[in-house]
Structure 1
Amino acid sequence: MSNIRGQGYDGASNMRGELNGLQSLIMRDNPCAYYVHCFAHQLQLTLVAVAKENKDCAKFFQNLGIVLNNIGYSCKRLEMVRDIQADKVLEALASGEIESGKGLNQELGLSRPGETRWGSHFKSIVRVMSLYGTLIRVFEIISKGAKSVDDRAKAEIGIDHLESFEFVFMLHLMKVVYGYTNSLCEALQRKDQDIVNAMTILDLTKEHLTKFRNDGWDQFLQTVSNFCAKHNIEVPNMDDFYAPPGRSRRRLVNELNLQRFRIDMFISVLDKQVHELDSRFDVRSMEMLMCMACFSPADVFASFDKDKLVRLAKFYPNEFNDTEITLLEYELDIFESDMLRDSRFHLIKSLGELSIMLVETKKHISYSRVYLLLKLVLILPVATASVERVFSSMKYVKNYLRNSMSDELLDNCLVTYIERDFFSQVSDDDVIRRFQDMNPRRMALDFS
């Protein structure tokens, strides 16, 4: 237990809980076993919390799923969407409403959001907004020409959802939320992730969400109203009492539309999003990752910062006492000068390549303290989305049949699949020889 220097796993409360979670139990025995959760997964969890813990968001995504499923499961209905949308584009071109040109007016299809790819939700929302009138027209055709009562009922339910002001309101609001978080989502899922830039995008995302929450209501409501006017949807008067859809007006709730849409929906969703971003991306993990980024050899050590690396070393008092910290400060100065002069280190881009080059050039002996700090940095790889991709790959390898095999064989299958780019360079003859040398065989394998 005393040798553990990092831990990372799922973000469930029984794993990452501050009181009785696994990470807390381990850190009580070893305070240097820091828990760093995958930042891309943390962002997904913040979006999940907003989408599922807020009843209005949960209702919106359920209704959105009903609309997309009713059309998306039928090739005939998808073809109907394409034909109607193509006719609308031709009419708009003829009237001069839109212009033609390279890359403009491309054919759009419905994109259903993925459960684990929360960046796909933004794409789905944008597509629904672009095809909004077309979707209503398709449901109207289905409702009139459906042979079964079930299909007619589903089409009418789809029309009711689409023409609801609450649906249009949440459609625009979630477009804003996912639009502001989309850049952060892409930055955190890149393989060549730049922690410094990702954290900058995180701060800017929270800043813009807060600014939109405080100052963006009037413009947002005007945008929603214009969209409703274009599609003949009634916009409720914000000074009237709120009437829940499907309920008798004699049972009106005692709140105004302004209270309902601005406070209960607009401000509530944005506050929840900012709060989740603050709680999921804790200060200590962000500080550690910012310090780790200063070790990057990219662009000839352009982000190298001695002070931050010394601060990072202080997170590990078992390895770096006061004397070692002082020696590390001087060693980092010499290390930086050596790296800038040695042309062999000018083309490397990752921390893994840096560690390999230090060993190949025997400089890991000369800079033993720097190399130790580098190894501690490499122990925490869960800051990128690569670990999450490994878990995603397991579902392809760990199927029903392989689930009963031994752990060692299953591990070997996972390694060869995850590192398939490397193993593709290994020849079949090398694999056969390696297998032949494992144990004495009754007969030699054929190499022909």
Structure 2
Amino acid sequence: MDESPSAYYVHCFAHQLQLTLVSVAKENINCQWFFGQLAYLLNVLDMSCKKICMLRIAQAEYMIEALKLGEIESGQGLNQEMGLARPGDTRWGSHYRTVMHVMHLYPSIKKVIFRVGKEGKGAEALGAQTMLRVFNSFEFVFLLHLMNEIFGYTNDLCNALQKREQDIVNAMDLLEFTKVELDVLRKDAGWEEFLKNVTSFCEKHKVKVVDMDGKYIPIQRSAKFYRGATNYHRFHADMFLGVIDRQLVELNNRFDEVNTELLRCMAAFNPANSFSAFDIEKLVKLARFYPDDFDLEEINQLRFQLRLYIANVRNDENFKNLKSLAELSMMIVKRDMVSRYGIVYKLLKLVLVLPVATASVERIFSAMNTIKNKLRSKMGQNFLNNCLTTFIEREFFLQVKDEDIIKYFQAMKERKVIL
């Protein structure tokens, strides 16, 4: 970036979204308290075989009772067994999955904690008794629903950003829709509906609902820090609005206008569906992002060259079934159209070298932990690259026959025995 200001790069969008959620969790003191209690809950349950069995039995008993009362429906694919995994900052959707499972397993978890606190010994029983007070509080339930709401709105966007064949335009639209939905949620109607759902959940599971006009009493924190605070101000302003506003700020900061506009313009080159996304104005605007590569004369000429280019490729049968920019560039070279549309091809090359890091790039970094383990900690760079290539592109290498590999190594040099 120091050597070339127009050398754009786009960090993994799916990872960016996860970082916005984690950032909110770490910087908002209420969310920090909630996730701290969630981690403590997982420590108390510790997911030993005994605790897993207890949770499974408690959930089965709850499901049977709920089916009798008609609160839930039975059928194929419904009421699947759920576990409680620890959320990770770089595991997409892990926070949402944990929060969602805790909400669905709430009565069963409550029952298990009570049993551990009553039948356990020493620190185990003490931890369960302490956790039960927090778990059975309105504040914990409120933040549990709030996190589920926030993660629920961003989950579709998170999944869209992880697709291998990523539709950039669709991802950007989903981003805008997510911002709109979060903005709608923070309004009075959204607050009233949200509070109604939380209250209904508390009444169902026998959790004491606080009076919004009453004095705020913190859980596991000194009341000195909240003197004069009312429940309405704490739950509505500090928690509800505070978390949503922080989330919107993080989304705007992480997904800045330059990167977003760059991707929207780049998508106009997409050859899918007979170049339906083609837009001359966007491609000219994309060229202006690279002032060191296009002079004023080339930018003016680009508009006319794009018109000739699109008329040509739409009438050429060889371009009809193309799906990616890489296929488009190869077909332009194959059809000897590089010299004819030189400016267009140069812009296409800049788009191709723009490392739009999808989730697959993050998966490659994760793969290094598998390849470079304790037994291979001193491998050289070249050997590491070769191992990573075969591991990451294993779908391709699995197509190679073992006999061909043996023959290749046999022919490299003379050997005493046949491999």
Question: 1:102 & 1:411 partners in 2: Cα distance?
Answer: 46
Matched, 1:444 2:418: no
Alpha carbons of structure 1 residues 445 and 421: separation in structure 2 relative to 1, 3 Å: farther
Alignment equivalent of 1:375, drawn from 326, 342, 349: 349
RMSD of the TM alignment (CA)? Answer: 2.2
Summarize the Cα distance change of 1:98–1:36 in structure 2 as closer, same or farther, 3 Å threshold: closer
Quick check: 1:381–1:387 contact (8 Å CA) kept in 2? no
1:195 aligns with 2:172: no
Name 1:20's counterpart in structure 2. Answer: none
Displacement after TM superposition at 1:120 (Å): 2.0
CA contact (8 A) 2:9 2:356 kept: no
Higher relative contact order (CA 8 A, sep 6+): 2
DSSP 3-state at the match of 2:26: helix
TM-score of the pair, normalised by structure 1 = 0.87
Please list every run of 5 or more consecutive structure 2 residues that lacks an aligned counterpart in the other structure.
none
Counterpart residue identity of residue 35, structure 1? Y
Q: Given the alignment of the two structures, is residue 94 of structure 1 paired with residue 65 of structure 2, yes or no?
A: no
What residue in structure 1 maps to residue 142 of structure 2? 169
One-letter code aligned to 1:225: T
1:169-226 C-alpha deviation (Å, 9 max, x unpaired): 1001101110111111011111111111111111111111111112222221222112
Contact 1:32–1:316, Cα closer than 8 Å, also in 2: yes
What's the counterpart of residue 393 of structure 2?
Answer: 419
Partners of 1:402 and 1:279 in 2: how far apart?
39
Equivalent pair of 1:82/1:109 in contact (CA under 8 Å): no
Aligned residue for 1:363, secondary structure, equals coil
Judged with a 3 Å threshold, the aligned counterparts in structure 2 of structure 1 residues 82 and 204 are, in CA distance, closer, same or farther, namely same
The one-letter code sitting in structure 2 at the alignment partner of 1:294 is A
Matched, 1:132 2:103: no
CA apart distance, 1:383: 4.1
Distance in 1 (alpha carbons) for counterparts of 2:23 and 2:417: 58
Match of 1:119 among 69, 72, 93: 93
1:157 is matched with 130
Q: Do residues 301 (structure 1) and 275 (structure 2) align?
A: yes
Query: Aligned partners of 1:233 and 1:107: how far apart in 2?
Result: 24
SS in 1 for 2:66: helix
Cα deviation per residue 1:114-133 (whole Å; 9 max; x = unaligned)?
33124122122111111111
Change (3 A) 1:277 1:445: farther
Q: Which amino acid aligns with 1:260?
A: R
CA contact (8 A) 1:184 1:202 kept: yes
CA contact 2:99–2:148 (8 Å) conserved in 1: yes
How far apart, in 1, do the equivalents of 2:416 and 2:139 lie?
70
Maintained 8 Å contact 1:291/1:311: yes
1:337-392 superposed Cα distances (whole Å, 9 cap, x missing partner) = 22212222222211112122222222233322222111100111324222212211
Cα deviation, residue 104, structure 1: 2.8
Q: For 2:259, give the aligned amino acid.
A: S
- Does the 8 Å CA contact 1:70/1:154 hold for their aligned counterparts? yes
Write the mapping of 1:66-105 to structure 2, written as runs, cut at 5 A. 66-105=40-79
- Structure 1 pair 251–208 and aligned structure 2 pair: CA distance change class (3 A): closer
- Taking a change above 3 Å as real, the CA distance of residues 248 and 410 of structure 1, as seen in their structure-2 partners, is closer
Q: TM-score if structure 2 supplies the norm length?
A: 0.93
Change (3 A) 1:136 1:429: same
Change (3 A) 1:419 1:102: closer
Distance 1:99 1:321, change over 3 A: same
Q: For structure 1, which runs of at least 5 residues remain unmatched after alignment?
A: 1-22
CA contact (8 A) 1:432 1:445 kept: no
1:210 maps to what in 2? 183
Q: State which of 290, 293, 305 in structure 2 corresponds to 1:316.
A: 290
Number of corresponding residues: 418
Equivalent residue for 2:155? 182
What is the alpha-carbon distance in structure 2 between the residues aligned to residue 248 and residue 290 of structure 1? 50
Q: CA 1:111/1:187 → structure 2, altered by over 3 Å: closer, same or farther?
A: same
- Percent identical among aligned pairs is 50
Query: In 2, Cα distance between the equivalents of 1:222 and 1:357?
Result: 58
- Taking the aligned partners of 1:250 and 1:367, their CA distance within structure 2 comes to 72
